[in-house]
Amino acid sequence: MTSTAWAIFDACRAAMANGVRTSRIGQDKEFHFQNWVYDRILEAGFTSAAAGRNTYPDFPIDGTDESYEVKGITVRSRENDFDSNSALPSGKHNGREVLYVFGRYDSAAVGGETPQVHDIVIVHGSFLNAGGGYLADNTSMRVLGSYGDVLFRDRKMYAPYTPYKLLTGVRDQSTLVLPAVEEAPASGFVEVGRFSRKEADSILVGYTGDLKANTLTGEFEPNPAAGVEHRFIAYRSEADGAGVSVDLVRSS
C-alpha cells in the first residue's frame, strides 16, 4: 500500500506555497497549527475520526495503518528539540506507522491571529528513534516533605531533536523524509538527499537520582543493534524543484 505521506505532504506544500495561513482566532497558542495540518489531511482525501487534541498520535488516518503526530514551532523559539511526554518517539505505535509533521510559523507578534507557515518537514518516526524505547509507568511514592506525605512522581519526560537540528536544508522549504525502502511515486517528487542514522553502542536501562546532590546517573547496557544503519531519503515536490539539498548534521 502506498503511504499516505505523499498526498498529505503535497497538500501541506501546496497550502504553504499558496499562502494558506493558520488561524489563532478563538484558538490557544498550540493547536492552530494542528488544525492547519488536519485541514490538509482532508484536502488530501483522508479522514481521521479518532482525531483529538490529547491523543497520541494526533491523527490516525481512517482505513490505513498510518498516523500523524503534529509538532508546531514558532520561528526563532525552541527549534532544536521538542517535548515528548511519557513516551519516546517511534516509527510504530500500537501496530500503526507513525509520521511526524513539523512546521515553523510566525509568532503572534509577527503574524497576529493568522500566522504564516514558513516550512514543513514530514518525517517517519523511525528517523527520530528507530526503536520503541521503554514505556513509562509514572511510578510514585508518598514520602517527601517534612511530614512525609508529599507524593514524589517518577514521571519520564523526553526531549528528542527536531529535523531542524538533525538536518541541513529544511528551513524555508517543504521536505518529506521516509525510510529508503519506501518506493516513491513514478512522478511528482524529486530526491534531494540520502543519509543514514547509526544506532548507538549502548542503551540506557536505568538511572539513579541523588536528591541531595541534585545529580542523575545513568545505567547502560550494550545495544543489541549497535552500529545498525537506518537509511532515509529526502524528497521535495517537482513543483518546487530540487532546490537546496538535505543532509544529516554529522555532529549530531
What is the Cα–Cα distance from 207 to 168, expressed in whole angstroms? Answer: 33
What is the b/e burial string over 118-143, where b = at least 16 CB atoms within 10 angstroms of the residue's CB?
Answer: bbbbbbbbbbbbbeebeeeeeeeeee
pLDDT higher than 80, residue 135: no
First-to-last CA distance in the chain? 33
Q: Which carries the bigger pLDDT value, residue 124 or residue 132?
A: 124
Q: Cell for 189? A: 517528487
> For strand 167-168 and strand 96-105, is the pairing parallel, antiparallel, or unpaired?
unpaired
Tens of pLDDT, residue by residue over 137-168, are 778 999 989 889 999 888 888 899 999 999 99
- Calculate what percentage of the chain has a pLDDT beyond 70: 92
Q: Which carries the bigger pLDDT value, residue 157 or residue 46?
A: 46
Q: Stretch 105-134: mean pLDDT, rounded?
A: 91
Tens of pLDDT, residue by residue over 57-75, are 999 999 999 999 999 999 9
The whole-chain average pLDDT of the chain stands at: 91
- Calculate what percentage of the chain has a pLDDT beyond 90: 74
Radius of gyration of the chain (CA): 20
Enter the pTM of the model.
0.92
What is the Cα–Cα distance from 74 to 63, expressed in whole angstroms? Answer: 32
